[in-house]
A = this chain, B = another copy of it.
Amino acid sequence: MRRGVTRTSTGITVSIARDPALVRTVRLIAAAVARRASPDEEFVEEVRLAVGEACALMVGESASDAGPVTVRLALDTRLCVDVVAAGPVAMADSFDSDVDGVEPWALLRGLIDDLSIERDGDSTTLSMSWPVSAVA
């Protein structure tokens, strides 16, 4: 029964099968972690939306046997979230669009200023982060 342990960072990693039904659970987790960082519900909603969106994009990208999508949330001086999936991710507008300038990535790019997308070998990582004040 430890208590009052000093810690500098706190993290949670969740891996889901590529099942769209599980994306909501990831949103629930993201919101819970965000709420630890700040009670500001607008911030919590933004994190919920962005993480859910990143996760939905990765889950929607390929067949359900393409391996899990992993979401890493770390809370330190920033709330950092990485969404990792095996396989390439189509970042461009892959469908014929007759509405100019809209595409699935528009929302995520609009939400996250510092969105970074990295290919490493076979996997793709989406990274995003938010500044947070003191963590309780």
Which residues of A pack against B, CB within 8 Å? 1-3, 5, 7, 9-17, 19-22, 24-25, 28-29, 32-33, 36, 60, 63-64, 68
Contact = CB atoms under 8 A, between A and B. Distances in A.
A13 B10 CA distance: 17
Nearest to A71: B14
A119 to B, nearest CB: 22
B14 A64 contact: no
Contacts of A28: 28-29, 32
B36 A21 contact: yes
16 contacts: A2-B60, A2-B64, A5-B63, A5-B64, A7-B17, A7-B19, A10-B17, A10-B19, A11-B16, A12-B17, A12-B25, A13-B14, A13-B15, A14-B14, A21-B36, A24-B32
